[in-house]
Amino acid sequence: MSTNNTHEIVVLGAGYTGLIATARLARYTRKLNTRITLVNPSPRFVERLRMHQVAAGQELTDFQIPELLAGTGVEFHRAAATAIDTAARAVTLDDGAVLHYDRLVYALGSTTDTSTVPGAAEHAWTLNDPLLAHHFSRRLPEIAAAGGTVTVCGGGLTGIEAAAEIAEAHPGLTVELVSAAEPGSMMGEKARAYLNRVLDRLGVVRTVGVKVTKVLPDAVRLDTGELVASDLILWTTGVRVSPLAAQAGIATDAKGLIITDPTLRSVSHPEIHAIGDAALVRQAWGQLHGTCQSGVVTADYTAAVIARLVRGKTVKPLRFGYFHQPVSLGRKDAVIQFTNADDTPNRWYLKGKAAVVYKEQVSGTPPVAAKLSRYVKLPVQLSKGGRATRKTA
């Protein structure tokens, strides 16, 4: 907690939400007596929207967080938070440092959960870490040369994108996508049909309507009892969040998400602002789910809220509605399903080369927006959801 009239703001996590929140905070509070510290274990910004590209063997731009925030006055602290003392308003880091805060932005995000199925943690790969994704990609050429198989577990957007990317980059592989639900089930009929045509063209084999009950070194066992042999297994289903908030006594739900009020402040500790995958955020139409789309918006909103609170002004509740579901299908194809506020599909969708351009713009926006925020105010919110967000909850 500050003792010299400087308002101390600490941001935990520099993923999409943490980075955007920090950049916008620097802009919105630049005329105020604030000090902003961003805490993250790595100085490199991880583009999680592109981890499937790394897994397929592509090199991404090396965005360094200090460079993206250069000139903003933000202090970058390379470390991981290990504890939060809410009474003292202090965060302990794994390098021994203790940071005191007047306001804390909790943006620790989520990771793929490998704890729910036996063997997944030991034998399956994930896209949680860029280095591991890179190591995964280095094994693909040899397996492809031998006509081997890669199994992608999970038919959500991450699983679809990974399966398509790997199949396109390594046509000698058999890529099998195992999913409890039909891939693209969240999309409209026409967009889903296009997605399936592209997966067919790329040779992605789909096993649908089954669950993986065990992961073995060279296979996955399904709930039907069948064994699906595989040379390499990629796990993309299920998420979990850091236990840090719950351990600190901050009010969370059963999954560890910080329960927030309509302005995204903790209901138990209002000096803590939770954003992105780590926050339980409710709108009139329902609960937000973890996406970059909603995460970036909650980040920008929270930065504006903090700036107003520091000035002693009132704030309005968040209003947000989903706008689209962008899905890349390799480097040469994509499909964009436009949605209603609650993320259900509407009649409009985009496909082919136009969708590729659209998806690339979406994926590339966050680091660019963070870098340019010190110069101009860039819009990040695509939709407030119209009347759907004004209904009584």
CATH number for the domain that contains residue 159: 3.50.50.60
pLDDT at 363: 85
Q: Rounded to the nearest 5 degrees, what angle is found at the Cα of 184, between the Cα atoms of 114 and 61?
A: 65
Name the one residue in this structure whose structure tokens are 């049909």. 193
Task: Let me know: does 214 contact 220? Beta carbons within 8 Å.
Answer: yes
H or E element at residue 92: strand 90-93
> What contacts 168, CB < 8 A, 6 or more positions away?
56, 202, 330, 331, 332
pTM: 0.92
For residue 48, the SS3 value is helix
Put the strands of the sheet holding 212-216 in their side by side order: 212-216, 219-222, 227-229
Same domain, 138 and 212: yes
Helices (H), the chain: 16-28, 51-55, 65-68, 120-123, 130-145, 157-169, 189-202, 244-247, 292-310, 352-372
pLDDT for the residue 376: 55
Q: Are 160 and 225 in the same domain?
A: yes
Say how far apart CA 298 and CA 318 lie, in whole Å. 8
CA 19 from centre of chain: 12
Same-domain status, 86 and 148: no
How confident is the model at residue 383, as a pLDDT? 52
Q: Are residues 124 and 213 in the same domain?
A: yes
Token pair recorded at residue 112: 């793929």
* Residue 343 covered by a domain: no
What total number of domains does the chain contain? Answer: 2
Does one domain contain both 161 and 15? no
For residue 90, with 0-12 CB atoms within 10 Å meaning exposed, 13-18 middle and 19 or more buried, which class applies? middle
- Distance CA(349)–CA(340), nearest Å, equals 12
In a domain, 32, yes or no: yes
- Euclidean distance between CA atoms 163 and 288, whole angstroms: 26
Domain boundary residue, one of 179, 205, 235: 235
Q: What would the two tokens of residue 36 be? A: 């902003």
Residue 129 sits in the same domain as residue 35? no
- Domain containing 196 equals 120-235
How many other CB atoms are there within 10 angstroms of residue 79's CB atom?
16
Which helix (H) or strand (E) is 286 found in, with range? strand 286-287
> Do 86 and 126 belong together in one domain?
no
Is 58 contained in some domain?
yes
Contact 236, 228 (CB under 8 A): no
Q: Are residues 201 and 304 in the same domain?
A: no
In the DSSP assignment, the letter for residue 59 is P
User: What SS3 state is found at 238?
Assistant: coil
What dihedral angle (degrees, nearest 10) is formed by the CA atoms of 232, 210, 119, 139? 10
pLDDT in single tens digits along all 393 residues of the chain: 555 689 999 999 999 999 999 999 999 999 999 999 999 999 999 999 999 999 999 999 999 999 999 999 999 999 999 999 999 999 999 999 999 999 999 999 999 999 999 999 999 999 999 999 999 999 999 999 999 999 999 999 999 999 999 999 999 999 999 999 999 999 999 999 999 999 999 999 999 999 999 999 999 999 999 999 999 999 999 999 999 999 999 999 999 999 999 999 999 999 999 999 999 999 999 999 878 889 989 999 999 999 999 999 999 999 999 999 999 999 999 999 999 999 999 999 999 999 999 999 888 777 776 766 665 565 554 455 555 555 544
> Which pLDDT does position 291 carry in this prediction?
81
* Together in a domain, 151 and 40: no
Length of the chain: 393
Q: Is residue 199 part of a domain?
A: yes
**Same domain, yes or no: 157 and 82:** no
Q: Rounded to whole angstroms, how far apart are CA atoms 177 and 230?
A: 11
Domain final residue pick, 203, 235, 267: 235
Cα 22 to Cα 30, 40, 348: the distances in Å are 12, 12, 34
* 1 belongs to a structural domain: no
DSSP 281: -
Are 286 and 380 found together in one domain?
A: yes
Residue 351 falls within a domain, yes or no? no
Separation of alpha carbons 35 and 179, rounded Å? 46
CA distances from 173 to 144, 146, 300 (A): 5, 8, 42
Residue in 45, 37, 44 with CA at minimum distance from that of residue 105: 37
Decide: helix, strand or coil at residue 43. coil
Tokens read off for 61? 């731009």
Strand partners, 351: 335
Query: Is 114 within a domain?
Result: no
> Both 127 and 156 in a single domain?
yes
Q: Are 220 and 238 in contact (CB under 8 A)?
A: no
Task: Return the axis-axis angle of helices 16-28 and 352-372, rounded to nearest 10°.
Answer: 50
Q: How many CA atoms lie within 13 A of 330 on its CB side?
A: 19
Contact 19, 367 (CB under 8 A): yes
DSSP state of 349: E
Q: Which of 235, 250, 276 is the last residue of a domain?
A: 235
pLDDT value, residue 378? 54
| 356, part of any domain | no
